[in-house]
Amino acid sequence: MAIFSPRMMRAIRSRFWYVAEDGGGRKRIFFDNAAGSLVLKRAHAAIERYSRLSSYGGGYFPDASVVDHLMEHARRSVAMLLNAPSPASIFTGESATAVLKRLAEAILPSLPDRCTLIVSAADHNANIDPWRRTAEQLANKRLRVKQVTFSRATGTIDLDHLESLLDERVGLVAVSHASNVLGAENPIAEIRHLLDQKAPEALLIVDGVHFIPHGPADVQALGVDAYVFSSYKVFAQRGICFAYANDRILQLPHYKLAPAPDVPPESWEWGFRNPADLAPITEVVQYLAWLGQQCFPSASAKDPRELGHCVRLGQTAIRQYEHELVRAMLDGVGHTPGLRAIGGVTIYGAQHPTTIHLKEPTFSFNITGWSSGDVEKILWDRYRIAVRAGDHYARETLHHLGITDCVRASLAHYNTLEEVEKFLIAIQHIARHDQRRE
């Protein structure tokens, strides 16, 4: 039986803003989640509620205590979401782009001279450029940056290639938990295992931005040293990124104002963060727990320790359902053929039945005879389907694929099989009418 019944699907969709219509009241299908998910109504309400307060905590009066409490609660929620050992291991920044650069600036000076950094060809530039650029800025250290490639069949990091790059001189490996173009989940625990064997001193830095709305991330089980994600990809809003880092990283010297707190996590934050930005993540975590309880009714969230368990169940339910979406996108719905059976469509990343369990419902493709920008426009103008065309800020991934741009249709768990069917019908029409023949 499908993990989400029709009733459950309606309940899920009712919790989000603009799930079937856009902000102007136009009916549409939203397949642009990888650029920014839909927003939970309760997350938005939390922003509204907390934006009314004076935003500075730490004072001796009730509103300041409310702010302090909500910041602490947000850190606890994120620690639960990532199964981090403590809320004190969670800090915030304005975006993943900013936080990864801040991590690079703190970590690289601490590494031995002449060591090797490994970045991944399957990553967004946010997890490549900071390592490269900071290594260049520290020219005296003579750090070498190498890039691990990915398998075209699965879209995941090529572990054999990674192994061939590893030795005791490797100081850091930076990879994404899932590629925002290929939608493929990287085997982070296996990467850790390889590092333990061949480069035990190497730090493992994971960009979780694309993965986090799609499944459970357990920083302890994965053995990562830092894990970064942004709120706007996981049902909340732009303007805030959360990072887990272990003590080895948190204790490194880092830029802070002299009067600012000396101890992590606050010492890593630049200025006092906007409480209204932090509040929504707690609503996201509550939503995931609710989903877990609905889909696995024997679970209970009465005990706070069980709340974490329910969150994981919610994420598991999302995974299971999204695999149905992946199958439908690739194999079709009813009599409507899937993407891989439509002539003229080139899909990038996993598409073989044995590998699609590694895939998030993120599909990058091109259609013969059409530019990616044309496909994006036609999907909107004729079919009211929102997708995105371009390089998705993952230039190196596209370079390895031999392309400069592609269309990306990215789904989330509130998307339906009916929407998938309408999308596939639209793609069939477009592919049939090769522009060169029109």
Tell me the three-class secondary structure of 250-295, residue by residue.
HCCCCCCCCCCCCCCCHHHCCCCCCHHHHHHHHHHHHHHHHHHHHH
CB of 227 to ligand PLP, least distance (A): 12
Phi, psi of 421 (to 5 degrees): -60, -45
For the CA atoms of 175, 192, 233, 249, what is the dihedral angle to 10 degrees?
-90
Contact in structure between 31 and 375 (CB atoms under 8 Å) = no
- 144: which 2 tokens? 């070498």
Q: Is 179 or 416 the residue whose CB approaches ligand PLP more closely?
A: 179
The CA–CA distances, whole Å, from 127 to 77, 141, 206, 379 equal 24, 20, 8, 31
For the CB of residue 185, give the shortest distance to ligand PLP in the complex, in Å: 12
Nearer to ligand PLP, 129 or 266 (CB): 129
The secondary structure of 103-138 as a DSSP string is HHHHHGGGSPTT-EEEEETTS-GGGTHHHHHHHHHT
Side-chain-side CA neighbours of 5 within 13 Å: the count stands at 5
In this complex, which beta carbon is closest to ligand PLP, that of residue 176 or of residue 286?
Answer: 176
| Diameter over CA atoms, the chain | 73
| DSSP state letters, 25-66 | S-B-EE-BGGG----BHHHHHHHHHHHTS----SSSSHHHHH
Distances (CA, A) of 326 to 108, 241, 360, 395: 39, 27, 7, 24
CB of 339 to ligand PLP, least distance (A): 21
Nearer to ligand PLP, 207 or 283 (CB): 207
CB of 175 to ligand PLP, least distance (A): 10
Least Cβ distance, residue 136 to ligand PLP (angstroms): 20
Of 76 and 392, nearer to ligand PLP (C-beta) is 392
Q: How far is the CB of 34 from ligand PLP (least distance, A)?
A: 6
**Phi then psi for 396, rounded to 5 degrees?**
-75, -35
Which phi and psi (to 5°) does residue 132 adopt? -65, -50
Give the CA-trace dihedral at 419, 422, 425, 431, to 10 degrees.
-70
Residue 384 DSSP label: -
Min dist CB 241 to ligand PLP, Å, is 5
Q: State the DSSP code for 140.
A: G
4 and 318 Cβ atoms separated by less than 8 Å: no
To ligand PLP, the closest distance from the beta carbon of 36 in angstroms equals: 8
Closer to ligand PLP by Cβ: residue 122 or 135: 122
Nearer residue to ligand PLP within complex by CB, 240 or 301: 240
Query: Nearest distance from residue 204's CB to ligand PLP, in Å?
Result: 16
Binding site for ligand PLP (CB under 6 A): 95-97, 124, 126, 176, 180, 207, 209-210, 230, 241, 393
> Closest Cα partner for 196 from 227, 229, 216, 173?
173
The residue among 103 and 431 lying less far from ligand PLP, judged by its C-beta, is 103
Identity of the residue, 316 or 397, whose beta carbon is nearer to ligand PLP in the bound complex: 397
Between 123 and 428, CB nearer to ligand PLP = 123
- For the CB of residue 132, give the shortest distance to ligand PLP in the complex, in Å: 15
Residue whose pair of structure tokens reads 């099989």 in the numeric block: 417
